[in-house]
Structure 1
Amino acid sequence: MLRFKVYENGAPARQVDLTGAHLLGPERVPVRGELRFEKGEILCETRSRAAAALAIVWPVKGFGRVMLETPRLLERREPYNLVVELTRGQLMRISLKREDWGLYDYPEGEPVYRAVDAARDLLLEAMTAGDDATAFALAEQALSASVTAGESVGNLHAEAFLARRRTSGQLPPRPIGCRLSLDEVYKAPVAGPIHPQRLPRGFDFVSVPMSWRYIEAVEGKASLAAIEPWVRAIRERKLQLWAGSLLSFDEMHRPAWWSGGAKEYDRLRDAAARHMKQVAKALAPHVSAWEVAAGLHARNPLKLNLEQIIDLTRMAMQVARQAAPKVPAILTICPPWGDYYANDHQTIPPLLYAEMAIQSGIAFDAFGLEIRFGGEGGPRYVRDMMQISALLDRYGGLGKAIHVSAAGVPSAPPCADGSWHGEWSEDVQSQWLRDFYRIALSKPFVESVSWHGLADAGETGANGGLLRGDLTPKPAYHQLLSLREEICAGRE
């Protein structure tokens, strides 16, 4: 059993929120285990004696509540100090990424290097403290310093490589997009022309979700009426149209009339193929990219087995290829972190699914990644920018182009999935957009980034849009325009 001591105000903590906490094995894949809190300690019972890491959403002073990980640890008689181990894990990841990125001798990086060294010194003080409570207090300072330093390392790398990509002319020609939310397209259908403010300037393309649930509300009777006004408006504004989420089984996309499970797989496959062929036939002349399948590895309420999930992925790609052979086909990994796998082993870890899609010979052009926190379809636990940058590198290493098919964070609390640089606000949302886009577009394999949701939807409480419910722009929208002007200077 792994045990972690937790203190609060110099005394053993009375309670700890374990929502989202799980154990990680080799390759950071979640493993089964039972977690509970008793008498000031987090107790982790694993199914084996192999080393495991604890991942937990933790409040970092002066920063926010983010998912953090300890190093992989072996069981021992004495409990570990939780915050000491979280800090140690963070500094280990910083060291690995600095080596990976070669960030040791950039002159402009001196303040960042000093911040990393200061965080390491604080950790050493915590590890040599005379008592556990003092060690915990010092480790909290070290954790705050290390998370902040980690983001500085990620931002330093982003600035250097974004500048290099821009000056060498390697930035993609159409990097900025927006993916409409289901609320915008289906829950408030537009009878007439789309208001111009609903498609403001600054985008190269707009992705429209092709929700099976809404398109085929009655089995065998498909309707694209809700989509048609958006398609017309996008074409009139000379933007590219992307068709999103053609096949997904989460509750927002799965047809309400479907009541079968894995035992009726052949019927499910036929119904899914029919839906996709109908959409593909209607939109093939207008579409610039297909987001063919989304989240099949993680959203598995039908309890499909591995072979069936891979077969559906292959079928979906074949339908898209047949409809428009020259249009890029994107396989979306949603979510890209494997937190869900800890509680449902009938799903597939995301990186394993991505690797299997390649190794199985499925023909597709790029991966899509959804990197957004809060909002519908969660939980999506908040990560810091260094973790996000490292995640992009892991998928980029698979040899396919990457499209961030949905990025986003809320602009107001509450958000049960965590916080970043304080409570969510319009200004924090704008800051997150700035840092995230610069990191993503600095990667040589990232070809586009799409924001999830144009405008807030007051009826559902969604507040992650670039525009408010009355269509006035938020600071995040102005930040996006500023970024676009910077990276596209001289090309328009």
Structure 2
Amino acid sequence: MAAIDRRQFLTLTGGTAALLALGASPSEQSKAKVPALTNRIKLQAWTSTGKPMPAKVFNQTLFLTLGDEPMPNPPRQVDSGVLWTTTPSVPFAIVLYLAVKGFGKVALYADNQGQGYTPADFPLNLNLACAESRIHRVRTAIATWQQQGFECSAPITEQLQLAEAYLQQAQAASSPKAMAALTNDSLRESLWAGESAVFAHAQHQINQRGHRPDFLFGCNFFRHPTAGDDYDRRFKQLFNFATLPFYWRSFEPEAGKPNFAKTDEMVNWLEAEGITPKGHPLVWFHGAGLPAWARDKPYAELQDLLRQRVQEITRRYGNRIPYYDIINEAHDIDWANTLNYSAEQQREMTQLATLATAKGYPNAKRIINTCCQWAEYIPKGPRQPPLQSAYQYLQTCLETDIPFEIIGMQLYYPNQDMFEINRLLERFSQLGKPIHITELGVSSNTTRAENTPFPNPPGLWHAPWTENIQADWVEQFYTLCYSKSYIQAVTWWDLADGSFWPHGGLLRSDFSPKLAYLRLNTLQKRWLALGA
């Protein structure tokens, strides 16, 4: 990941709360004088203290298909606590971003117990709807797992019962303030119950399946060798998988003169330590992926140049680099589509990358890398045809027989709780390919990190970010991934502070280990013992 506009990144990765902290205003549709809406529906929402939801927060509300794909926003009018909009043509779900006291700031979902909403369901109290839907989702998941041999603990069951009791009281409340407080209580209990259930189920799966000797614990290796021996020592203690930089702009700043020396040195060191390398990225239409001498080339000529580049790299390294992110973020992401290619052109470039990789090294494991997995950018994009999500892009690659081996998913802190992260992973697993988590990071501090691309740490999970909160998130997320046979690798981004994600390293800037580093090392030892 190279430096990008921080407002873009926070918007597109799901950092809605952080974006609002930057002072984001409602959409142009809301700011302008909007004609009277016909066939309109009314949604209402309150903060946890019972105040009408501020318009700029409420305006972040999204509609989804029942397949979890965001819909382009229809015309809307947003005032304090009230959102008027036109009705989507099919049953739909709703996403509300809310600070739940006692849990954190997260995306909440209302889907009418899986049936979706139609005009007959409005006006709709979103606080109550989200509380009801959360309980239903968690209960449904637990029931499915129980059929597979999972035993739900008494504390989780009690949390769900308490959530239901609070919801019933909220439904009978005599004032918005009382209703909002009680729905907050219900959501707090059901959010914790969902996360606890997902974590317990993942631990159950790991205990059933045992140690996974081929699992890849990865990190980018960009600061070798300049960071020195302490960096290298910490790296090899924790990781068996390393991402190497092939950003075209810095790799070949002058046409015909690629700089292989640094990569050669990295590969040599990794081979000596028995660590598997991965190249990243071979094709990327971000500024970092396009040298000045190439970016203005005609489409066909750029295809030829990329084909030559990919074949040259993969042929040179052969089996020394068995994995490649062959193309990065080619699904209508603004920062990764600086040449403004159509969806069809992005697919053509994807096919070019995968075929050229195979020609250079036939045994390469080809990863199509994606980002912004919840696709919050789609409702904000007034483009025709509508923007494509990562999931839709991957579906199209499969439907058009573009050959590749692995789905790559970036997962920087997404304002989603672990239960919803689990739902997302399960959804992508239905595409039928192994999955690598190719990039992820969460913060360990809430102070500004001036030496990063966007210095304000985004999000609030359970409590303001600390090294302990970061370690808890790492433990839960890695446990979740390790429990799933279709997830083969998880790559942290970056090893030490002072790089991309603010306070996102597993090491401090002096390369001393944070609690998250130690926690992950403890997990690895525990899982290794399962196979002893």
Q: Which residue of 1 aligns with 2:142?
A: 98
User: Structure 2 vs 1, CA of residues 250 and 94 (structure 1 numbering), >3 Å: closer, same or farther?
Assistant: farther
- How many residue pairs get aligned? The number is 473
Check conservation: 2:311, 2:359, Cα contact below 8 A.
no
Residues 158-217 of structure 1: CA distance to partner in whole angstroms, max 9, x if unpaired? 111111111xx6x24243121246xx47xxx83988953463412111111321222123
Check conservation: 2:61, 2:95, Cα contact below 8 A.
yes
| More displaced stretch, 403-412 vs 248-257 | 248-257
User: Structure 2 vs 1, CA of residues 370 and 93 (structure 1 numbering), >3 Å: closer, same or farther?
Assistant: same
**CA apart distance, 1:336:** 2.2
54, 57, 60: which one aligns with 2:100: 60
**CA apart distance, 1:358:** 1.8
Q: Which residue of 2 aligns with 1:122?
A: 166
Q: Which residue of 2 aligns with 1:428?
A: 469
Q: Which residue of 1 aligns with 2:435?
A: 402
Percent identity between matched residues is: 25
Residue 232 in 1 paired to residue 268 in 2?
Answer: yes
After superposition, where does 1:432-471 map in structure 2 within 5 Å? 432-457=473-498, 462-471=502-511
Instruction: Provide the C-alpha distance between the structure 2 equivalents of 1:40 and 1:491, rounded to a whole number of angstroms.
Output: 55
Instruction: Provide the C-alpha distance between the structure 2 equivalents of 1:147 and 1:192, rounded to a whole number of angstroms.
Output: 43
| More displaced stretch, 14-23 vs 352-361 | 14-23
Instruction: Provide the C-alpha distance between the structure 1 equivalents of 2:168 and 2:150, rounded to a whole number of angstroms.
Output: 26
420, 425, 428: which one aligns with 1:387: 420
Residues 14-52 of structure 1: CA distance to partner in whole angstroms, max 9, x if unpaired? 554257542222412111224553143133445x44333
Instruction: Provide the C-alpha distance between the structure 2 equivalents of 1:11 and 1:491, rounded to a whole number of angstroms.
Output: 54
70, 77, 83: which one aligns with 2:127: 83
Q: Which residue of 1 aligns with 2:43?
A: 4
Q: Which residue of 2 aligns with 1:376?
A: none
Residues 83-110 of structure 1: CA distance to partner in whole angstroms, max 9, x if unpaired? 1122223223223322443369744522
Q: Which residue of 2 aligns with 1:477?
A: 517
User: Structure 2 vs 1, CA of residues 412 and 485 (structure 1 numbering), >3 Å: closer, same or farther?
Assistant: same
Check conservation: 1:190, 1:229, Cα contact below 8 A.
no
**CA apart distance, 1:131:** 3.4
**CA apart distance, 1:400:** 1.4
Instruction: Provide the C-alpha distance between the structure 2 equivalents of 1:304 and 1:340, rounded to a whole number of angstroms.
Output: 17
Residue 488 in 1 paired to residue 522 in 2?
Answer: no
Check conservation: 1:7, 1:13, Cα contact below 8 A.
yes
Check conservation: 1:174, 1:205, Cα contact below 8 A.
no
Structure 1: which 5+ runs fail to align?
374-380
Instruction: Provide the C-alpha distance between the structure 2 equivalents of 1:18 and 1:419, rounded to a whole number of angstroms.
Output: 18
Q: Which residue of 1 aligns with 2:24?
A: none
**CA apart distance, 1:295:** 1.4
User: Structure 2 vs 1, CA of residues 328 and 12 (structure 1 numbering), >3 Å: closer, same or farther?
Assistant: closer
Q: Which residue of 1 aligns with 2:445?
A: 412
Check conservation: 1:81, 1:136, Cα contact below 8 A.
no
Q: Which residue of 1 aligns with 2:28?
A: none
Check conservation: 2:206, 2:482, Cα contact below 8 A.
yes
Check conservation: 1:2, 1:76, Cα contact below 8 A.
no
Instruction: Provide the C-alpha distance between the structure 2 equivalents of 1:481 and 1:11, rounded to a whole number of angstroms.
Output: 45
**CA apart distance, 1:118:** 1.8
**CA apart distance, 1:481:** 0.8
Check conservation: 2:412, 2:442, Cα contact below 8 A.
yes
Instruction: Provide the C-alpha distance between the structure 2 equivalents of 1:2 and 1:180, rounded to a whole number of angstroms.
Output: 51
> What secondary structure does 2:488 align onto?
strand
Instruction: Provide the C-alpha distance between the structure 1 equivalents of 2:230 and 2:251, rounded to a whole number of angstroms.
Output: 19
> What secondary structure does 1:12 align onto?
coil
Residue 137 in 1 paired to residue 181 in 2?
Answer: yes
Instruction: Provide the C-alpha distance between the structure 2 equivalents of 1:312 and 1:14, rounded to a whole number of angstroms.
Output: 43
Instruction: Provide the C-alpha distance between the structure 2 equivalents of 1:282 and 1:212, rounded to a whole number of angstroms.
Output: 16
299, 313, 318: which one aligns with 2:350: 313
| TM-score with structure 2 setting the length | 0.81
**CA apart distance, 1:128:** 2.6
**CA apart distance, 1:260:** 4.3
User: Structure 2 vs 1, CA of residues 12 and 76 (structure 1 numbering), >3 Å: closer, same or farther?
Assistant: farther
Q: Which residue of 1 aligns with 2:277?
A: 241
Residues 376-405 of structure 1: CA distance to partner in whole angstroms, max 9, x if unpaired? xxxxx3210011111111122222111222
Residue 359 in 1 paired to residue 359 in 2?
Answer: no
Instruction: Provide the C-alpha distance between the structure 1 equivalents of 2:395 and 2:53, rounded to a whole number of angstroms.
Output: 42
* Partner AA of 2:46 in structure 1: Y
| TM-score with structure 1 setting the length | 0.87
Instruction: Provide the C-alpha distance between the structure 2 equivalents of 1:61 and 1:164, rounded to a whole number of angstroms.
Output: 36
Q: Which residue of 2 aligns with 1:268?
A: 302
Instruction: Provide the C-alpha distance between the structure 2 equivalents of 1:450 and 1:149, rounded to a whole number of angstroms.
Output: 28
Residues 27-86 of structure 1: CA distance to partner in whole angstroms, max 9, x if unpaired? 12111224553143133445x443333323321111111122222423369532221122
> What secondary structure does 2:96 align onto?
strand
| More displaced stretch, 474-483 vs 128-137 | 128-137
Instruction: Provide the C-alpha distance between the structure 2 equivalents of 1:250 and 1:123, rounded to a whole number of angstroms.
Output: 47
**CA apart distance, 1:372:** 1.6
* Partner AA of 2:484 in structure 1: K
User: Structure 2 vs 1, CA of residues 79 and 301 (structure 1 numbering), >3 Å: closer, same or farther?
Assistant: farther
Instruction: Provide the C-alpha distance between the structure 1 equivalents of 2:140 and 2:59, rounded to a whole number of angstroms.
Output: 28
Q: Which residue of 2 aligns with 1:378?
A: none
Check conservation: 2:99, 2:106, Cα contact below 8 A.
yes
210, 229, 237: which one aligns with 2:246: 210
Check conservation: 1:165, 1:444, Cα contact below 8 A.
no
* Partner AA of 1:240 in structure 2: T
User: Structure 2 vs 1, CA of residues 296 and 237 (structure 1 numbering), >3 Å: closer, same or farther?
Assistant: same
| More displaced stretch, 314-323 vs 279-288 | 279-288
Q: Which residue of 2 aligns with 1:25?
A: 65
User: Structure 2 vs 1, CA of residues 283 and 474 (structure 1 numbering), >3 Å: closer, same or farther?
Assistant: same
* Partner AA of 1:253 in structure 2: G
User: Structure 2 vs 1, CA of residues 86 and 267 (structure 1 numbering), >3 Å: closer, same or farther?
Assistant: farther
> What secondary structure does 1:395 align onto?
helix
Instruction: Provide the C-alpha distance between the structure 1 equivalents of 2:530 and 2:184, rounded to a whole number of angstroms.
Output: 47
Instruction: Provide the C-alpha distance between the structure 2 equivalents of 1:394 and 1:40, rounded to a whole number of angstroms.
Output: 32
After superposition, where does 1:249-398 map in structure 2 within 5 Å? 249-260=285-296, 264-299=298-333, 300-344=337-381, 345=383, 347-373=387-413, 381-398=414-431
Instruction: Provide the C-alpha distance between the structure 1 equivalents of 2:148 and 2:321, rounded to a whole number of angstroms.
Output: 45
